């Protein structure tokens, strides 16, 4: 019988090529525990990186809204279809959240390492999104604010294409932000002519 020739090998004994490897229940439990610990550690790192990826654009957007959020020229003489200023800022915060989430999805797939243009496009669109409030408040709604909105739309179109190559869900999240940027451009264009 072949089972009579099997022997349990300890870690100290050298293994010869003709001995079969026998796993005990203790070895299986140890391996499962190690795999579980590795998964838990990876999940914690993933949650930490997700929190940073979302918190950074959110905090910058909140700071921009807090510092430059009250604009008297926006509330005067606006058409009926304009959202209230609080809704406009809330949607900007939501857009920053979605972009942070999509950037994290791309980063988790290694997209920023494979395509450095993806990170550059993300930083450009974030900078343009943060620049809209200060420009509208300090300079006033005009052609500069409209140029910033249109540049943001262009950056989001490019982001959507690059992000979609890495992760289709990230590309779809960027499309939601693109729809908001187009609407914000329409609002800014109307403010230019009012």
Residues 144-175 pLDDT 10s: 888 999 999 999 999 999 999 999 999 999 99
Structure tokens at 144: 């500069």
Structure tokens at 31: 């391996």
Cβ atoms of 139 and 168 within 8 Å: the answer is no
pLDDT at residue number 40: 63
In which domain, by residue range, is 189 found? 53-193
Domain membership of residue 5 (yes or no) is no
pTM (predicted TM-score): 0.71
Domain membership of residue 31 (yes or no) is no
Domain membership of residue 20 (yes or no) is no
pLDDT tier for residue 6 given thresholds of 50, 70 and 90:
low
pLDDT tier for residue 109 given thresholds of 50, 70 and 90:
confident
Domain membership of residue 63 (yes or no) is yes
pLDDT at residue number 135: 83
pLDDT at residue number 133: 80
Supply the mean pLDDT for the chain. Answer: 79
- Of residues 66 and 127, more confidence is placed in 127
Q: Which residue has the tokens 């908001």?
A: 180
Report the distance separating Cα 60 and Cα 46, nearest Å. Answer: 22
Asked if residue 32 has pLDDT above 70, the reply is: no
Cβ atoms of 75 and 48 within 8 Å: the answer is no
pLDDT at residue number 25: 58
pLDDT at residue number 49: 79
pLDDT at residue number 26: 59
Domain membership of residue 33 (yes or no) is no
pLDDT at residue number 100: 92
Domain membership of residue 122 (yes or no) is yes
CB count within 10 Å of CB 130 equals 19
Domain membership of residue 143 (yes or no) is yes
Asked if residue 14 has pLDDT above 80, the reply is: no
Count of structural domains, the chain: 1
Each residue of 80-90: pLDDT tens digit? 777 787 888 88
Cβ atoms of 133 and 126 within 8 Å: the answer is no
Cβ atoms of 91 and 180 within 8 Å: the answer is yes
Structure tokens at 20: 């079969």
DSSP three-state, residue 59: helix
Domain membership of residue 95 (yes or no) is yes
Report the distance separating Cα 154 and Cα 188, nearest Å. Answer: 16
User: What is the rounded average pLDDT of the residues 24-38?
Assistant: 64
pLDDT at residue number 35: 67
CB count within 10 Å of CB 50 equals 16
78-83 long-range contacts (CB < 8 A, ≥24 apart) are: 78/190, 78/191, 78/194, 79/190, 79/194, 82/187, 82/190, 83/187
């Amino acid at each position: 019988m072949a089972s009579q020739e099997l022997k349990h090998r300890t870690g100290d004994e050298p293994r010869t090529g003709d001995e079969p490897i026998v796993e005990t229940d203790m070895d299986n439990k140890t391996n499962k525990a190690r795999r579980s610990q590795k998964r838990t550690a990876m999940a914690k790192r993933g949650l930490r990186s997700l929190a940073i990826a979302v918190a950074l654009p959110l905090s910058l957007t909140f700071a921009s809204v807090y510092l430059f959020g009250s604009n008297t020229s926006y509330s005067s003489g606006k058409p009926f279809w304009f959202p209230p200023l609080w809704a406009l800022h809330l949607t900007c915060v939501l857009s920053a959240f979605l972009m942070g989430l999509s950037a994290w999805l791309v980063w988790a797939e290694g997209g920023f390492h494979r395509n450095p243009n993806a990170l550059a496009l993300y930083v450009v669109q974030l900078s343009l999104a943060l620049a809209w409030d200060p420009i509208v408040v300090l300079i006033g709604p005009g052609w500069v604010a409209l140029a910033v909105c249109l540049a943001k739309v262009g950056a989001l179109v490019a982001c959507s294409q690059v992000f979609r190559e890495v992760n289709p869900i990230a590309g779809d999240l960027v499309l939601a932000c693109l729809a908001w940027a187009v609407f914000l451009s329409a609002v800014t264009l109307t403010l230019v002519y009012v």
